Structure 1
């Protein structure tokens, strides 16, 4: 199911959206501030910066954001995804099947 795009939100200046986030197998959930204009690639990087190489082993694969069971495209913005303040997101690696 796709979330309707809020065109009015896209016309406004970016707003801060604090997210509850966890990186893959990390055991620490963190509060990460992002903006409505940030892409999922930027959100994934922001979340990963707190865990990857610290409590989670860094892997050479792209990262994806998962919100409400949906894996979101890297170029989708927070506003387009319909992510609200304090929503929970998970960041995981996109590991190709041949690498598993």
Structure 2
């Protein structure tokens, strides 16, 4: 009997992952399309693109992403972070002392 090997997620083509997202102090939740290959830094930028400077004042600070109560490392991909379709993410400015 042949052993089946699960394909490595890194070897698969990126998949679309629509996210429910809220940015900083915005009052509107938005639907943002990203892919499984996007980094968390790219997710933060994609969410900010729709809100920053429009409904929320732009700040000169790094953006951080939270998913299920945990802060995600910016270099992780959406797949590595375990974010699935229609999951909720929150993007905030990193205003900690010395965060820039």
TM-score (norm 1): 0.88
Q: Deviations over 1:21-79 (max 9, x none)?
A: 00011001000000000000000000000110000010000001100001101110000
Q: Structure 1 CA distance, aligned partners of 2:98 and 2:16? A: 38
What 5-or-longer segments of structure 1 have no aligned partner? 1-5
Q: More helix by proportion, 1 or 2?
A: 1
Q: Which has the greater radius of gyration?
A: 2
Question: Cα distance, 1:98 vs. partner?
Answer: 6.2
Question: Could you tell me which residue of structure 2 aligns to residue 25 of structure 1?
Answer: 25
Question: Cα distance, 1:9 vs. partner?
Answer: 1.9
Question: Could you tell me which residue of structure 2 aligns to residue 96 of structure 1?
Answer: 96
Classify 1:12/1:45 alpha carbon distance in 2 versus 1 (closer, same or farther; 3 Å). Answer: same
What 5-or-longer segments of structure 2 have no aligned partner? 1-5
Question: Could you tell me which residue of structure 2 aligns to residue 46 of structure 1?
Answer: 46
Question: Could you tell me which residue of structure 2 aligns to residue 69 of structure 1?
Answer: 69
Q: Structure 2 CA distance, aligned partners of 1:71 and 1:96? A: 13
Report how many aligned residue pairs link the two structures.
94
Question: Could you tell me which residue of structure 2 aligns to residue 59 of structure 1?
Answer: 59
Q: Structure 1 CA distance, aligned partners of 2:7 and 2:40? A: 18
